[in-house]
Amino acid sequence: MDKTDGAARRWTMLALATGSSAAAAMVMVAGGFLIPALLVQRGLSLPQAGLVAAMTSLGIMLTLIGWGFLIDRYGERWTLAAGLALAGLSTLAAAAQSDPRWIGGWFFVAGMAAGSTNAASGRIVVSWFPKEQRGLAMGIRQMAQPLGMGFDALVLPVLAKQHGVGAALAVPAVAVLVFAALAAMFAGLPETAGASPCATATDGANPYRAGSFLWLVHGVSVLLVIPQYFVWTYMFTWLNHSLSWPETTAGALVAAANVLGAAGRVAAGVWSDRVGSRTWTIRAIATIATAVLGCLALASWGQATASAVALMVAACAITSADNGLAFTSVAEFAGPRWSGRALGAQNTCQYIASFLVPPCFGWLIDASGYTWAFGVSAVIAAAAIPLVPKDQGDRALTGRRGER
């Protein structure tokens, strides 16, 4: 394979990884956009509807490390294809149910299956791109979640209102089945992936014994995913149910906010490539997210609706910007022999938190209102700032500042 063919294949793999992740994200977040329909059509309370929406997160958090072991042992192609196929079939099964308990149960199975996508697509990107391009490449791959969510925001609420929950769920089900077929045909790593020099820990050694870096990245990611999933889950419901925006208008704004979020993930990746540090950039993003969420709480408390809506859009964009950076840091530190398991652990930690977010914040909103929820999310984001570890680039930046 010459350099031109290799470059073309690299970008093809990135497109496949991004598309697969976007389709899986459509399944994972579909429940959040069905909350208004579940409230009206199925008579659920907000915490109950939030629990149904969270069942995909419960499923995925139980299987991510297992998928990582399978990927490390058997490779990306068939684990990715099998997971996507099972996620699609489970979502179709959920679409056929009328009882919310069965919908939640099939969401749980779909989440378990979708876990294959996270580690597999991440390893594909890290393996195909050199270190100096990984921030950009992983930023593009991490566009998948907000783009999948944006598509859901435009389509699912309107379909659910006009034709029911089942018709809405058929859309993400078909999307993941299409990418399951594409993954089975085309997914794979470069021939030299096993010799990739991206590891910081000794090649083959357990990276969790090489210091606290991975543990801190996991912990910071958990804290930062809480405000991210709060915004993702309840932005549409806040606009539609609390501010009385129509479904089409609310969905269009959520979609636009997620397009900004997708662009923000790419910008964050490029930023980290240029400063030479993933963790310095994560710390900066956490600081900005804290400020935006704090201002959102103040705007909501002061009933400045227009400002609150603008700040919610900003929060949707900024709270998701760090994901690709943390994901890339984990993969680079763990190395090719441990990256599947480490990425599985990274996402397991995040999905434990994301499973708890919809019912817990639903209860908080029911009890105290959205203003308190905005404030709590700001405090949680602030708690992450001092815990962000330093990578080599971060230490170099600190050293250069100290010499001035």
| Chain segment 17-73, per-residue pLDDT in tens | 899 999 999 999 898 888 888 888 888 888 888 889 889 988 888 887 788 778 777
Q: What is the pLDDT of residues 221-235, one digit of tens each?
A: 999 999 998 998 899
**Would you tell me the crossing angle of helices 278-301 and 213-237 to the nearest 10 degrees?**
30
Q: How many angstroms separate the CA atoms of 324 and 129, rounded?
A: 14
Structure token pair of residue 321: 């910007």
Closest CA to 233 of 105, 355, 325: 355
Full DSSP string of 68-127: HHHHHHH-HHHHHHHHHHHHHHHHHHHHT--SHHHHHHHHHHHHHHHHHHHHHHHHHHHH
pLDDT band at 325 (very low <50, low <70, confident <90, very high): confident
User: Has residue 331 got a pLDDT over 70?
Assistant: yes
Helix residue spans in 187-275 (DSSP H): 213-237, 247-275
Structure tokens at 187: 């997914």
Domains of the chain: 3-394 (1.20.1250.20)
Contact 210, 201 (CB under 8 A): yes
In this prediction, residue 49 carries a pLDDT of 87
Confidence bin at 211 (pLDDT 50/70/90): confident
Nearest to 58 by CA among 135, 114, 136, 140: 114
Q: Quick check: 196 pLDDT over 80? A: no
pLDDT in tens, 241-289: 889 898 889 989 998 998 888 888 888 888 888 888 888 999 999 999 9
For the residues 179-198, what does the mean pLDDT come to? 69
Q: What is the pLDDT of residue 352?
A: 85
- Which pLDDT band holds residue 203 (cuts at 50, 70, 90)? low
Q: Stretch 329-335: mean pLDDT, rounded?
A: 79
Give the pTM: 0.73
Comparing CA positions, the residue from 62, 95, 258, 244 lying closest to residue 177 is 95
Residue by residue, DSSP assigns 302-330 as TT-HHHHHHHHHHHHHHTTTTHHHHHHHH
Q: Give percent above pLDDT 70 in the chain.
A: 91
Q: Please tell me the predicted confidence (pLDDT) of residue 24.
A: 93
